[in-house]
Amino acid sequence: MHDVLIEFRLGVLSYPLYTNQLYIGQNFHWVVENALGFAAYLVYNLRKEVQVNTPLSANKFAFKEYVTSFPQGKFYTE
């Protein structure tokens, strides 16, 4: 059951629109698939941020969770 919940969560995370001006209108999945270096850069920049209760913060940390859920994302962000 736990694996099903993880897959569902990752499926949900693949759909939010990404709001950076460079890739405006693209979803998390597209950015990870087409701009992994940029995705890793964004996750790296989150290392000192603390999650707060705002939509932007939630979006940033959801993006981090999504990127690091893939082996390539973990490799490039460590």
What is the reported pTM?
Answer: 0.70
Where does the pLDDT of residue 35 fall: very low under 50, low under 70, confident under 90, or very high at 90 and above? Answer: confident
Section 34-56 average pLDDT: 87
Report the percentage of the chain scoring pLDDT > 70: 73
Residue-range definition of the domain harbouring residue 57: 2-77
pLDDT digits (tens, 9 = 90+) for 48-78: 899 998 887 888 888 888 888 888 888 877 7
Q: Token digits for 19?
A: 């709001």
Number of domains in the chain: 1
DSSP per-residue string spanning the chain: -HHHHHHHHHHHHTSSBP--STTTT-BHHHHHHH-HHHHHHHHHHGGG----SSHHHHHHHHHHHHHTTSHHHHHHH-
Predicted local distance difference test score (pLDDT) of residue 50:
92
